[in-house]
Amino acid sequence: MGFTFCNSTILAQCSSTISSFPYHEDFEAGQGNWTTGGNNNDWAYGTPAKNIITGAASGSKCWIVGNLTGSFYNFGENSWLMSPCYDFSTLTNPMISFSIFWETERRYDGASFQYSVNGGNTWQTLGSTNSNNNCNGQNWFNYAGMTALGLDGWSGTKLPSNGGCNGTGGSDGWVTAKHILTGLAGQSNVRFRFVFGAGTTCNNYNGIAIDDITISEAPTNTSNFIFACTSNNTVSFTNTSSICASNFVWNFGDPSSPSNTSNAENPSHTFTAPGTYNVSLTVSFPGNIVVTKTNPIIVLNVNTVVAKPINCYGDSTGAVAALVTGGNGNYNYSWNTTPVQTTYTASHIKQGSYTVTESATNACTTTATIKKTQPETINAAIEIEEEKRK
């Protein structure tokens, strides 16, 4: 059966309000003004020393259901661990994260997470088991409709089923749970609580432990990408937008191409000619937020020509030059001469094969090779006939 969590005006009173963010509580200095209550409450603060939950997520202190030792939580428990009050007036997109370790009978026992915007008078469950699918959450609720709570939450054990006790589904260690605090931006009287419920059989488990609670602004929703050149005029793109980006819309700024757009997350594109292209990526985020990023991509082409022939066989009087198209003229040159020459012309060269590597900011590096020849050897035979004197 499910339980109803009762509220009172005493619980709704805030002795102090936290308004400075980011907020982080690792419980090493104390209980952090987090309080417990409810029916058959056995939440404990300190250093856990159980057979599965053997310590805190960080440091040595945390909160845990079922006391600090042993493998049992109370029959018919209907308890909570409640936060101090927070003023989110200065936050625009808050999120919460914390470390959690769950080790309970699967389906029947477990914990959920709730929030209040009136200091604890009324409560709403944050998210659901679908939160991980829509990218609002991470490690958020693994079981829908736990029996003891009638809520989605964290439930399960690393142990197998045993007799009539349901096994599997535990976290098997500390994990970080995260969730966007949708709708709480600007609220001035916010409170959170972990609620725990248990049945009256199969309670021989380690319980639920909580540590390292952080409240902060969520990472900014950004659209971005990087690129790599794979062959002549062909560029592969990799999405590097912030987490939760979806609905990718690429425009390669190449209207002459029949494939100027793409909806793939990481596409490639062959540009029709050398030149500068403004490539844009538009992505969507939860809450119907749409963000676009545009970067210039330069596709270069380089040809090599003879700038000066070699005068004579065996000397180093030749020169070759690189002719580049596709960019704005700010190019970097590197010839495979000894020593390396870094201008568009490589001079004082002899017969041989010469390669120039061309690069520029936001451009695909390209190369070209030219073979430099020299005049043939001139053989002269001079005969001197000495006049015989009579």
Query: Residue 294: which residues within 8 A CB-CB, separation 6 or more?
Result: 278, 279, 280, 281
Residue range 64-110, pLDDT digits in tens: 999 999 999 999 999 999 999 999 999 998 999 999 999 999 999 99
DSSP alpha helices (H): ranges in the chain?
9-12
Residue range 179-189, pLDDT digits in tens: 999 889 999 99
Compute the distance between CA of residue 191 and CA of residue 297 in angstroms, rounded to an integer: 48
Query: Residue 38: which residues within 8 A CB-CB, separation 6 or more?
Result: 5, 77, 78, 79, 80, 195, 196
Compute the distance between CA of residue 289 and CA of residue 361 in angstroms, rounded to an integer: 31
Query: Model's pTM, two decimal places?
Result: 0.70
Q: List the structure tokens of 160.
A: 């197998």
pLDDT at res. 364? 86
pLDDT at res. 14? 79
Percent of the chain with pLDDT over 70: 93
Helix (H, G, I), strand (E, B) or coil at 232: coil
DSSP notation for 172-209: SS-EEEEEE-TT-TT-SSBEEEEEEE--SS---S-EEE
CB 6 within 8 A of CB 79: no
Please work out, in degrees rounded to the nearest 5, the angle formed at the alpha carbon of residue 117 by the alpha carbons of 209 and 128: 50
What type of residue is 54? Answer: T
User: In the predicted model, is pLDDT for residue 296 greater than 70?
Assistant: yes
225-298 and 301-372 share one CATH topology? Answer: yes
Of 270-274, 328-332, 380-384, minimum mean pLDDT range: 380-384
pLDDT at res. 7? 43
User: In the predicted model, is pLDDT for residue 116 greater than 60?
Assistant: yes
Q: State the residue for tokens 């007799």.
A: 163
CB 233 within 8 A of CB 271: yes
pLDDT at res. 288? 80
User: In the predicted model, is pLDDT for residue 4 greater than 80?
Assistant: no
Q: List the structure tokens of 172.
A: 């098997």
How far is CA 240 from each of CA 199, 226, 266, rounded to the nearest angstrom?
Answer: 46, 7, 9
Pick the CATH number of 301-372 from 2.60.40, 3.40.50, 1.10.760, 1.10.1740: 2.60.40
pLDDT at res. 244? 83
pLDDT, greater one: 315 or 259: 259
Q: What is the CATH number of domain 225-298?
A: 2.60.40.10
Compute the distance between CA of residue 212 and CA of residue 100 in angstroms, rounded to an integer: 9
CB 62 within 8 A of CB 211: yes
Helix (H, G, I), strand (E, B) or coil at 114: strand
Compute the distance between CA of residue 329 and CA of residue 380 in angstroms, rounded to an integer: 49
User: In the predicted model, is pLDDT for residue 232 greater than 80?
Assistant: no
How far is CA 278 from each of CA 250, 259, 271, rounded to the nearest angstrom?
Answer: 11, 15, 12
pLDDT at res. 365? 87
Question: What are the extents of the domains in the chain?
Answer: 9-217, 225-298, 301-372
CB 120 within 8 A of CB 6: no
Residue range 42-66, pLDDT digits in tens: 999 999 999 999 999 999 999 999 9
Q: Which residues pair with 195 in a beta bridge?
A: 80, 112
User: In the predicted model, is pLDDT for residue 335 greater than 60?
Assistant: yes
Average pLDDT, the chain: 92
Percent of the chain with pLDDT over 90: 78
Residue range 176-224, pLDDT digits in tens: 999 999 889 999 999 999 999 999 999 999 999 999 999 999 888 899 9
Q: What is the CATH number of domain 9-217?
A: 2.60.120.200
